[in-house]
Structure 1
Amino acid sequence: MTELTGRHVATLFVAGFSIIIAVNAALAVNAVRSFPGLEVPNSYVASQSFQARREAQQALGWTAEASYDAGSLSVALTTAEGRPAPAVDLSVHVGRPTEAKDDHDLTLVDGAARIDLAPGSWRVDIAATAPDGTAFQKAIVLTVAR
């Protein structure tokens, strides 16, 4: 058996910290690469009208739901009475919550779109406009089972 010298301890110390630094660098690079970006260009400016937009959206009484089954994403936008909401324009965007590479803008036909979603967590962003011009936005987190 070899005697443990100061040189061996220094080598183990440098090797151990090199592994830690390499793993931290790899995680930091991956985190920066997968970040989809900002939600709004200036959060302070967006916050100034948030409450008014929220109250206007709630006054519509609309609800949005999304479900996924066997390659079909269904989206339902309904009024407080349960009827289809009279949206002037409706856009649906689906993607992973943490990265933009799997994002898709969808065109709905009878409230559904054909799309293959891999297992895991997905975010469905629904945007519509009411006939009076009130904006409606909803983000739904959808989990696709394995």
Structure 2
Amino acid sequence: MKRIKKGFTLIELTLSIAIIMSMMAMYKFTYRGFHNLLNKVDILKCNNSVLEFINFSKRYCRENDALGKVYFSKGENSMMLIIGGRNVKKYKLPSGFKITFINATNSVLNVNKLGQSSDGCTMKYKDRNNNEQTITVSVGTGYVQIK
């Protein structure tokens, strides 16, 4: 008489669960590592974009002999170059990033016709991991520092 196997043995079931749990643990660490790497890349990209935006604003004012204002908007998490009431260029921070602090009068960095800032400014923002990043613009120079 043949015996019919009606189910899994305890060893087969334990081994299957162990394999599934191992795969889930690897996925979790890989997923977390991917998001941390993506956040680091976006921080570098954001810092360089803010730096490029401020330098573009200074260069634009110098080349067009115009007075400009770089306006920082906390609500929109963006920066705008405004010349004569006209929005020339806009940069929006990546999704999940939030401007938390602007150390500038009325959230405006003034740029003169020589492309120099007449006042200093510090911008702080939080990334997706809630870490604070700082960017500082020095007075009267073309110097911008990322801390």
TM-score, reference length from structure 1: 0.35
Q: Which has the larger radius of gyration?
A: 2
Structure with the higher fraction of residues in helix conformation: 2
